[in-house]
Amino acid sequence: MDRLEKIVLVFSAGLLGIFFLALLAAARLQAIDVPPCLPPEVKPFSAGRVDTLPDGTRQLFYVARMWRFEPEIVEVPVGKPVDIFLSAGDVTHGFYLSWTNTNLMAIPGAVNAYTVKIEKPGIYPIICHEYCGSAHQNMVAYILAK
């Protein structure tokens, strides 16, 4: 192996290391993490509802069905963590909470979860991003952050 070959190999390995560190830094800065395990008390559910825990945490239980989310309009406090639990009543749907990094799949028989903190007051549309039938494009719900 000649000298130039060694330099190129070391440079390439260093570059890969830099890319890997940049990936870790970006994930850390944007608070991207693997999905959490569900607490054992969360069981599959078939109706949407909103709960408030004793410490004030809002828990939203969404059910996606052709072609709506249940509950359709929910009010949440600004700057407080909101637990979102999501399931589906018929086929697979998507769940994207606009202007946040909340992006889940609604899968029949399964519960997916994410905790989001909304920092600015406003109206946040929830959009289905998985094609689910002829009225897929109309499937929307809203979170009002106040």
**Closer Cβ to ligand CUA, 126 or 145, answer by number:** 126
User: What is the closest distance, in whole angstroms, from the C-beta atom of residue 136 to ligand CUA in the complex?
Assistant: 3
The pairing of beta strand 68-70 with beta strand 93-97: unpaired
**H helix runs in the chain, sequence order:** 3-29
Could you identify the residue written with the tokens 């997916």? 112
**Closer Cβ to ligand CUA, 58 or 68, answer by number:** 68
Chain residues binding ligand CUA by CB under 6 A are 64, 67, 93, 128, 130-132, 136, 139
**Closer Cβ to ligand CUA, 67 or 142, answer by number:** 67
**Closer Cβ to ligand CUA, 58 or 132, answer by number:** 132
Q: Read off the DSSP letter of residue 92.
A: -
User: What is the closest distance, in whole angstroms, from the C-beta atom of residue 132 to ligand CUA in the complex?
Assistant: 3
* CB crowding 21-41: b at 16 or more within 10 Å, else e: eeeeeeeeeeeeeeeeeeeee
Q: Do 82 and 115 form a contact (C-beta atoms < 8 A)?
A: yes
User: What is the closest distance, in whole angstroms, from the C-beta atom of residue 102 to ligand CUA in the complex?
Assistant: 16
User: What is the closest distance, in whole angstroms, from the C-beta atom of residue 129 to ligand CUA in the complex?
Assistant: 7
